Amino acid sequence: MSVFIQAVILGIVQGLTEFLPISSSGHLVLMQHFLGIETPQVMFDVLLHGGTLIALTVFFRSEILKLVIQPNRSNLQYVFYLILATVITVAILFPIRDSVESLFNNVHKVSWALILTGSILWISARFHKVSVEEKEVGWKTAVLMGLAQALAAVPGISRSGVTIAAGLMCQKSAYKVFRFSMLMSMAVILAAIILKLMEREPLGIPVPAAILGVTAAAITGLGALTLLKRFLMAGHFGIFAYYCWFLGVWTLVSMR
């Protein structure tokens, strides 16, 4: 299989799984394993997140513009909560970033992390049923979601899954939790890209192939955002737990 086809496949996987609560990092590790890519391409994985960052910017363009051009008290408070959650995530992850990266070549641990993600999604679905009040995300929820986002640095732990689950457990509106989760991920994704570029690690694949992968991630990411929103609004968030359980167990069995 050519490197261009591999890049597109990984881009599609990234776009679909970054926002659906099934762990993009976990899927990338597993796909690289099954595609026979022996050395984890951490730099390329980070660039693929750039594609999903584009998808987020397009999907939430009206909300982002509102926060930027209407600096009223409510919007400023909301931005502060986004910053608070991001600072918590970065403060936890920055000192241990090398240890986290080492997990990207451990398929066994990724499989167990997927099973854990499924369990978190299944539990949060119980709270989703009673989350009917249109409450906005407050500072306590922002702190909890920031902590959950740090946990998601482990490949196999879904960032969207655990952050949305944390918000739902705080009895917040499903859509507002969805929006906060997605918006707060933008700063973390951008920071990860900048840090990797500063480290000047090798890309691992040709630049044209990387561009194709990033484009595929952006396009499929838009579709995944739309799908996740529909599942959340319909109260079917917990259904993704079964997929995570299946994939985690299947991978463990297949490695024997």
Residues of the chain with pLDDT under 70: 1, 37-42, 101, 104-105, 128-134, 256
pLDDT at 196: 75
**Domain ranges in the chain?**
3-254
pLDDT recorded at residue 129: 54
pTM over 0.75? The answer is yes
Question: What pLDDT is attached to residue 130?
Answer: 46
d(CA 17, CA 117) in angstroms, rounded, equals 13
